Amino acid sequence: MTTKQIIFLNNEYIDYEKAFIHIENRGFQLGDGIYEVVLYENNRLIDFDGHIQRLFRSADRINLKIEQNAEQFKEIFLNLLQKNQQKIGAIYIQITRGDGPRIQNMPDTYQPTVIIITKPYKAIKKQDLDNGFSAITHEDIRWHNCDIKSISLLANTTLKQKAHSQNCTEAILIRDNIITEGSFSNVFIIKNEEIITKGADKRILKGITRDRIIKLAQENKIKVTQREFSREELLDADEVFVTSSTLKIRPITTIDNVKIGSGKTGKITQKLIKIYKNFIENYSEN
């Protein structure tokens, strides 16, 4: 017998099939909301503190008041995982400004809509990790506040679909000939055994996994530099990889039909994959 999926919606645990929001929810009508995704493995919420702090930062940036605190969210996350008997996967949380007439002005009073759902994910096969993945480059057509983890993802999904239509897994974005990030990931290049990634500003989402990989690399004596780099540097890199909570570390070995380095996953990327895998297996919240 298949266990029914349970989700959290506005302070209730309910069946997935019975989860509905009002037609005039501002998230549905106006994209007025934020979200986060937290990896769950080995009975641990990986880097929960970083994700939940970013959730509150995003909320503050759009003046969205959240009723729950971090500890309450953690309890809800763990309860939901237990109810769904889920051992590995991700938690998706979305908070909108709630229901109300479809007007552009933000209401003075509102009741936020909180949706939390567990999602499974598939581990990348070793062969794919060894061979790497393909990407395209594209003009960054998104808005200029990419540091807010907004549910308004039309530009991102359009770019992702363009990559998919060319049998690629990601679109790497360019603004003024500077690589910003992927449609749903942060981008790293490696040149002469030095990891390079764009510094965090409003043009990119400051990824929690991005920050973790930087810290782990530095702890393992791998040089990391945060600076701008161009499309030319991207294509001339020895190695390229992207990161996110559910992608973890995904090597990119072809971009715009140009082979990166040897055309296979490079030694430093392979080393980082092992380091991050070990980090998750031994993760402690302390």
pLDDT tens-digit series, residues 100-128? 999 999 999 999 999 999 998 888 899 99
Contact 196, 179 (CB under 8 A): no
Determine the pLDDT at residue 284.
Answer: 84
Domain assignments of the chain as residue spans, ordered by start = 6-119, 126-281
Which residue in 173, 184, 105 sits closest to 139, CA to CA?
Answer: 173
Q: What is the mean pLDDT of the chain?
A: 96
Catalytic-role residue among 173, 181, 206, 272: 181
Determine the pLDDT at residue 286.
Answer: 59
pLDDT, tens only, 158-169:
999 999 999 999
Handedness of CA 247, 200, 256, 195 (dihedral sign): negative
Q: Which tokens hold the place of 185?
A: 């990931």
Determine the pLDDT at residue 121.
Answer: 82
For the entire predicted model, the pTM comes to: 0.95
- Is 12 assigned a catalytic role? no
Residues of the chain falling short of pLDDT 50: 1
Catalytic-role residue among 205, 234, 247, 272: 205
Which residue in 232, 241, 272 sits closest to 133, CA to CA?
Answer: 241
Determine the pLDDT at residue 1.
Answer: 36
Catalytic-role residue among 74, 149, 206, 248: 149
Catalytic-role residue among 13, 24, 35, 233: 35
- Is 139 assigned a catalytic role? no
Determine the pLDDT at residue 42.
Answer: 86
CB atoms < 10 A from the CB of 62, how many?
Answer: 14
- Is 173 assigned a catalytic role? no
Three-class DSSP category at 193: coil
CATH architecture of 126-281: Alpha-Beta Barrel (3.20)
- Is 205 assigned a catalytic role? yes
Tell me if 6-119 shares its fold with 126-281.
no
CATH, range 6-119: 3.30.470.10
